[in-house]
Amino acid sequence: MKSSKENTIIIGGGFAGIEIAEKLLKSGYQSNIILIDKNNYNFFPPLLYQVATGFLDVSNISYPFRKFFRNHPNFLFRMGELLEIKPEENKVILNNGELNYSKLIIATGTVSNYFGNENIKKNALPMKTIDDAINLKNTVLDRLEKASRTADLQERKKLTTFVVAGGGPTGVEIAGMLSELKQNILLKDYPELNNVPFDIHLIDGLPTVLAPMSKASQEYATQSLEKMGINIKLGQLVKDYVDDIVYIADGTEIETKNLLWTAGVTALVFKGIPEASYGRGKRLIVDYHNKVAGTENIYALGDTSIMTTDPAFPNGHPQLAQVAIQQATLLSKNLNAMSKGNSQEAFVYNDKGSMAIISRNRAVADLTAGPFKHFNGFFAWLIWVFVHLFSLINLRNKVTTFFNWLNAYTTKDQPLRMIVNFKNNKNENKL
């Protein structure tokens, strides 16, 4: 670590945080780079649902920060949680100490948004973190075990009914994976559940699934999900979840112990940042250089920021990994330019398209370059596999994930369904 007092602090080690830390370190930027995260590892959120359903191991999609950056002498990792920012003192207050900065970069992403409903927050199963994914896998497997031994038919049905709230890519992907679990694995592992329907419901308040994607992708996804036996209810919000009953806005009630929540996200609010600096979804308002409004040396990247200066995205950019990565890449260039007294570039997002996987051999892809703008089916599935495989953080993750996928594809199975380090809910400890 350099003895210089110049510290560039990065809060959050997701797509944006890792990208800008790596770019600054490799560029020879004259500052200490301090990365702060509440976890000691980076993970790949687009594949969380495969960890949650037992098709990938945690180690396939995560990697420790210290090992990743170990060859950079001016890098420091601090495991901690940001509590407060003191802009007037150029200081951050963590749950385990405080640090001074010359420049502060906030790349904390988002958390699940329960829209103020405490019952849903308390009882639903989110999927935003590694802990969430492990808990979801353990919970689903635990409830299948309970269903396999209970003689109460109503209780068995509740244990094996799944409601997925949110029809975006994550909701579609988790619903599709649950359907594959039902079709290819359930009766092999749980012959006691031979006559159980294993109902899967996908609910969203918008009139279509995959709302940000093309109409062709939306229609293909809807038709594929319906063919897989998934019950889709659109244009309706989940209003509450009490006593194992999901209440939907149209008056429908679904009895289930499994509400999987992928219905929305919100950014974090930090003490010390002016209230006027926050925009829609609690995202930090930034200029075309990603500098936070009302501050001098604080920047925000990715999902936690909202920029309205890009002509093609006057209402802000979509909360996608590519936005975060591109913003981080440009900010690293601009910080180097500033340090040399050169001019900075304004951020303009290069939209490369979007994609979502539905199930084995089924996916959708909307591209912005080339003569063909939309793909679905097996070819789109191959594109999805290729892009996600090569987006993983290092070679080890790419190789292990590839062989896990190869095994799952050829066998339609995966031996990762272990309930590990799981504490039953006190109200569910016996059946």
Token pair recorded at residue 422: 């799981």
**Count of Cβ atoms closer than 10 Å to residue 242 Cβ:** 11
The active-site residue, picked from 19, 22, 173, 180, is 173
First to last CA, the chain: 56
Question: For residues 185 and 140, what is the distance between their CA atoms, to the nearest angstrom?
Answer: 13
Q: Using CB atoms within 10 Å of the CB of residue 21, give its burial: 0 to 12 exposed, 13 to 18 middle, 19+ buried.
A: buried
Question: For residues 138 and 409, what is the distance between their CA atoms, to the nearest angstrom?
Answer: 23
Question: For residues 303 and 327, what is the distance between their CA atoms, to the nearest angstrom?
Answer: 11
Determine how β-strand 91-94 pairs with β-strand 82-86: antiparallel
- Crossing angle of the two packed helices 169-184 and 215-227, in degrees rounded to 10: 20
Question: For residues 224 and 50, what is the distance between their CA atoms, to the nearest angstrom?
Answer: 19
Comparing CA positions, the residue from 315, 278, 321, 290 lying closest to residue 303 is: 321
Beta bridge partners of 79: 37
Are 68 and 29 in contact, with CB atoms under 8 Å apart? no
- 173 classed as catalytic: yes
DSSP per-residue string spanning 104-143: EEE---EEE--TT-HHHHHHSEE-SSHHHHHHHHHHHHHH
DSSP per-residue string spanning 160-222: T-EEEE--SHHHHHHHHHHHHHHHHTHHHH-GGGTT----EEEEESSSSSSTTS-HHHHHHHH
Q: What is the 8-class DSSP label of residue 386?
A: H
The CA-based dihedral angle spanning residues 129, 133, 134, 137, taken in that order and rounded to the nearest 10 degrees: 170
Are 107 and 22 in contact, with CB atoms under 8 Å apart? no
**Count of Cβ atoms closer than 10 Å to residue 338 Cβ:** 13
For 50, residues 6+ apart whose C-beta sits below 8 A from its C-beta are: 56, 61, 177
Catalytic positions are 173
